[in-house]
Amino acid sequence: MEPRRESAGDGESRYDGEGVGRRDWKELLANCRGGRAAPTAASCHSPPPATGGFDILQLSDEEEKVHRDAKRFAGLLVSEIELYNKAKVQDGRKSGDLYKRLKSDIDRSRQTYEKRFGKEVGKQYDYLHEELVRILAGSDAALLGSEYPGPTV
């Protein structure tokens, strides 16, 4: 179900519930870049920061939705890996070789992700990599290990 939109009183609409609206995340990103404000809890639902020629500020509403869906799907895939492989995840974090221990699961998730979002999002941003680092590796990419091929973009 799509989040409900409410008028912000300034002619713009904002999402309510699941995330923030287009104008909200653009303002948040602009403020963060300008050093005027720290990210808020709402930023967890916003698209990624601009990287390597990919500028999120240039996305249409439709493209923004595809990116949100890709990020959500990547998070789901990685959360499943973590859920069904708790011991391997724990051991991999300790040893710094998560990819080696979970290679088949990660590669299968990569194929599923690429099949669904590779053509649209895959050339702009690697949400699966982002979620592997955030969820499995606790935001420490080094814990994925030396065998991990890295992001596709």
Transcribe 32-93 into DSSP letters: HHTTS----GGGGGSPPPPBTTB-GGG--HHHHHHHHHHHHHHHHHHHHHHHHTHHHHHHHH
CA 64 from centroid of its chain's CA atoms: 12
Check residue 120 and give its pLDDT: 84
Structure-token pair, residue 125: 């941003």
- Pair (33, 89) in one structural domain: no
> What is the per-residue pLDDT for 28?
47
Q: Assess whether 132 and 105 both reside in one domain.
A: yes
Residue 14 tokens, joined: 């904002």
Give the pLDDT confidence score for residue 113 in this predicted structure: 97
Alpha-carbon gap, residue 139 to 145, rounded angstroms? 13
- C-alpha–C-alpha distance, residues 96 and 70, integer Å: 27
Q: What is the pTM of this model?
A: 0.67
Beta bridge partners, 7, equal 13
Residues with pLDDT less than 70, the chain: 1-54, 56
What is the number of domains present in the chain? 2
Q: 34 and 77: one domain?
A: no
Expressed as residue numbers, the domain containing 42 is: 1-46
The percent of residues above 90 in pLDDT, for the chain, comes to 54
Chain center to CA of 105: 18
Task: Calculate helix-pair angle for 98-117, 61-84, nearest 10 degrees.
Answer: 150
